[in-house]
Each structure stands twice: as structure tokens, then as C-alpha cells.
């Protein structure tokens, strides 16, 4: 029995993500929560002939508590998306409060659930959830994940395009490490399962890196003021949630990059810290998943000089983003 919950289920990501979770045969219960429209979304999905029993709640009458009761996996795509000209950090003002409120609900109702944060800016919203959990005495660093899967999915697609074989896209594996915004997104293309063409011009390599780092901007621009990536994000979110569920059901050897607390695996963190030359509280590295969540953090491994430059550029930005999330919770606690 697996209960999955989507917080922000009526939104651009929330609806297709809920659909993909509803058609996942491993899920037996699906709880949908939003401040609008969830009863309709739930009624609609509930007619699909798959095992998951679907329920949708709104804030009145303890809707958040009802949704979260018994949850094994909670995915959070609640919050506002970007418009052209905005950075993910510009979303912090609104999304920080939304994520903090939802984290309080999870801490009180489903403190053992695996929490998958999609709401931007991920580099700051993940620390917000962690700080709320710490304050409420329920933080388990092994169970909190920032969803960076869309960067991984983009890297697979763009590499497949570059090597002229889009058919290979589902099999292309590129570790994408760091965080989830601009220069903090670091694709380790030298470790791609499908090598880049020999003799690829430096300008073409740099263009590929930039496209992976700023793929979100491409969608924001094309959507022209109506939002950011929703369908590809729903795909990526469902893919990562499925890996988490397979791992919690006991499947071994599932590895995926995710933005996690380095306290989740102190031994792995030590190796990673030595490579980074800097202590960070959170980093997206390849994570081995197990029934308790993070089983092992993998080091970066052998990387090229160009990749070392990318990692170095990501670190100051990550430190700033993480601090923004941590101090938001500290400041709001001090006001109480
Ligand atoms: N991690 C990633 O790779 C990634 C990718 C794409 C988008 N995002 C982020 O995901 C978030 C959602 O994007 P979207 O396009 O679905 O936006 P959207 O506006 O279409 O949907 C957001 C939903 O959140 C709901 N919501 C707002 N406050 C809430 C609350 N307190 N409780 C529950 N629900 C609440 C809204 O009612 C809405 O239905 C944005 O922050 C966006 O930047 C992250
Ligand atoms: O770009 C955005 O704001 C949404 C998301 O983070 C993305 O990478 O598509």
C-alpha cells in the first residue's frame, strides 16, 4: 500500500503530475490538495481504471490534514511560476511562505513521509522544509529531496539531439549536480552514458551546457507570460517519485541526482566535501535510494577541467540560496 500526495495539485504541474501518479500501479491512494479546484481534479482522475483511490481536499475543514494523513510520499509543486524577465529567486517572496506552511502541515501529520520539493527556488525551498522540520523535531535528512530531475531529463534530451539520435534519449544518462537554477545546474557531460562527438568544438560544448543550465528560460520565453515548464516537469516529477516508491518497496540500486542535505550520508558527504573543497549543507549529487530514503551520496568522481570551473561557479550561488532559505525560517520563528 502506498499513499502519494500532491500539494498544489490543481496547478500547471499539479494536474498532469497527479494524472501520471494516478496511472502508476504502485500507488494505491492519491491525496490531492490545493487552495482551489482539487475536488474537481480528484473526481475527474477517480474515473481512470487504475488501483489508486483518489481524494481531493481544499483548506476548509482540515483539508491539508485529511490529505496528508497516512502519506508515504508527498510531492510539492505549490507556488507561483516565473514570467519572462524573472529569476527563480524572484519567486522566493511568495513561495517561501507557501512552502513553509505546507512543511508545517507535513511535520504535524506525516512526519515520516518522503518529501519531494518542486516549488522554486528549490535551492532555498528545500532548506525551508528542513528548518521547519528541525524546529518541530522531526527532521530526517534522508527523507527530504529537492527535485532536480527536469535538469537530468533535459540533459538526456539535448545530448540525444546533439548526437543525432533522439531515439536514444530515454537511455542517455548524464549526471547533473549542484542545484536547480542557472549556474548551479552543473551537467557532468564527460560522464554521459553516450559520449559527445569526438572533436566537438568548445563553443558547441559551452552552448550545450548553457542550454541545460537555462532550459527553464527557454520554456518561460516560449510560454510568453503564461508560466514555466509544467508538462516536462510533471513527467520528471513522476519519474523521480516512482524511483522513490520503488526504493521504499525494497528495490535495490536505484540512483538519481537530487538536491539533498549532506547530513543524509556523512561518509558520502565527506568525500563530496573534499572534492568541492568547501562544506555545503545541501548539494545535488547522485543519490542511491533505499527504503529509508538516501542510502548513499556519490562523489562527483573524475571530472574535466571545464567541469571543475562549472562546479566552482556554482558554489557561492548555492551558499547564498541555502542561507536565504535558512534565515527565512529563523526570521519568521523570531517573530512568533
Ligand atoms: N523543480 C523544478 O524543476 C520546477 C520545474 C517547473 C516549475 N517549478 C516550480 O513549480 C511551482 C509551480 O509551478 P506551476 O507551473 O504548477 O504553477 P501554477 O501556478 O500553475 O500552480 C501552482 C498551484 O499551487 C497552488 N497553491 C498556491 N498556494 C498554495 C498553498 N498554500 N497550498 C496548496 N496549493 C497552493 C495554486 O493554487 C496552483 O494551483 C513554481 O514555483 C515553479 O517555479 C519547479
Ligand atoms: O524555469 C523555471 O522557472 C521552472 C523550472 O525551474 C524549470 O527549470 O523549468
Predicted ipTM?
A: 0.99
**Per-residue pLDDT tens listing for the chain (336 residues):** 999 999 999 999 999 999 999 999 999 999 999 999 999 999 999 999 999 999 999 999 999 999 999 999 999 999 999 999 999 989 999 999 999 999 999 999 999 999 999 999 999 999 999 999 999 999 999 999 999 999 999 999 999 999 999 999 999 999 999 999 999 999 999 999 999 999 999 999 999 999 999 999 999 999 999 999 999 999 999 999 999 999 999 999 999 999 999 999 999 999 999 999 999 999 999 999 999 999 999 999 999 999 999 999 999 999 999 999 999 999 987 665
Atom of ligand 1 nearest to the CA of 36: 37
Q: How far apart are CA 295 and CA 142, in angstroms?
A: 8
Pocket mutation for ligand 2, best pick of 233, 234, 235, 284 (most atoms within 8 Å of C-beta): 233
Whole-angstrom CA distances from 256 to 21, 128, 324 are 19, 22, 26
Largest Cα separation within the chain, whole Å, is 62
Q: How far is the CA of 228 from the centre of ligand 1 (A)?
A: 10
Contact predicate 185/151, CB 8 Å: yes
Pairing label, strands 185-187, 293-297 = unpaired
Q: Which domains does the chain have, with CATH numbers?
A: 3-147 (3.40.50.720), 149-324 (3.90.110.10)
* Helix residue ranges, H only, the chain: 14-22, 38-46, 63-68, 92-109, 122-135, 149-162, 202-213, 215-223, 231-248, 266-276, 305-334
Question: Cα 262 to the chain's mean position, in Å?
Answer: 16
Nearest CA to ligand 2 atom 6: 216
Q: Which residues line ligand 1 (CB under 6 A)?
A: 7-8, 10-14, 33-36, 77-82, 91, 95, 98, 101-102, 118-120, 122, 147, 150, 180, 227-230, 233
DSSP assignment string, 245-314: HHHHTT---EEEEEEEEGGG-HHHHHHHHHHHTS--SEEEEEEEEETTEEEEEPP--S--HHHHHHHHHH
Does pTM surpass 0.95? yes
Nearest CA to ligand 1 atom 32: 34
Pocket mutation for ligand 1, best pick of 34, 146, 215 (most atoms within 8 Å of C-beta): 34
**Cell numbers of 31, please?**
491525496
Atom of ligand 1 nearest to the CA of 7: 33
Amino acid at each position: 500500500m502506498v499513499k502519494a500526495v500532491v500539494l498544489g495539485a490543481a496547478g500547471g504541474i499539479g494536474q498532469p503530475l497527479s494524472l501520471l501518479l494516478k496511472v502508476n500501479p504502485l500507488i494505491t491512494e492519491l491525496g490531492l490538495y490545493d487552495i482551489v479546484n482539487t475536488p474537481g481534479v480528484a473526481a475527474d482522475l477517480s474515473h481512470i481504471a487504475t488501483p489508486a483511490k483518489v481524494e481531493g481536499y481544499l483548506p476548509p475543514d482540515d483539508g491539508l490534514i485529511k490529505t496528508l494523513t497516512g502519506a508515504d510520499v508527498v510531492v510539492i509543486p505549490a507556488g507561483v511560476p516565473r514570467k519572462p524577465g524573472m529569476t527563480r529567486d524572484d519567486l522566493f517572496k511568495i513561495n517561501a511562505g507557501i512552502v513553509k506552511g505546507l512543511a508545517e502541515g507535513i511535520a504535524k501529520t506525516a512526519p515520516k513521509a518522503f518529501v519531494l520539493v518542486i516549488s522554486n527556488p528549490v535551492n532555498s525551498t528545500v532548506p525551508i522544509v528542513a528548518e521547519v522540520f528541525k524546529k518541530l523535531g522531526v527532521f530526517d535528512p534522508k527523507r527530504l529531496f529537492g527535485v532536480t530531475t527536469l535538469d537530468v531529463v533535459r540533459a538526456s534530451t539535448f545530448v540525444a539531439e546533439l548526437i543525432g539520435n533522439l531515439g536514444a534519449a530515454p537511455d542517455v544518462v548524464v549526471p547533473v549536480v549542484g542545484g536547480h537554477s542557472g549556474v548551479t545546474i552543473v551537467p557532468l557531460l564527460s560522464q554521459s552514458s553516450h559520449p559527445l562527438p569526438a572533436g566537438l568544438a568548445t563553443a558547441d560544448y559551452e552552448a550545450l551546457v548553457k542550454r541545460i543550465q537555462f532550459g527553464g528560460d527557454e520554456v518561460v520565453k516560449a510560454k510568453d507570460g503564461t508560466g514555466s515548464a509544467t508538462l516536462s516537469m510533471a513527467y520528471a516529477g513522476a519519474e523521480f517519485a516512482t524511483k522513490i516508491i520503488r526504493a521504499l518497496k525494497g528495490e535495490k540500486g536505484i540512483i538519481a541526482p537530487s538536491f539533498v542535505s549532506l547530513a543524509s550520508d556523512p561518509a558520502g558527504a565527506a568525500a563530496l566535501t573534499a572534492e568541492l573543497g568547501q562544506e555545503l549543507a545541501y548539494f545535488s549529487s547522485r543519490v542511491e535510494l533505499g527504503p529509508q530514503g538516501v542510502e548513499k551520496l556519490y562523489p562527483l568522481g573524475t571530472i574535466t577541467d571545464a567541469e571543475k570551473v562549472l562546479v566552482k561557479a556554482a558554489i557561492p550561488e548555492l551558499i547564498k540560496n541555502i542561507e536565504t532559505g535558512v534565515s527565512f525560517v529563523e526570521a519568521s520563528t523570531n517573530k512568533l
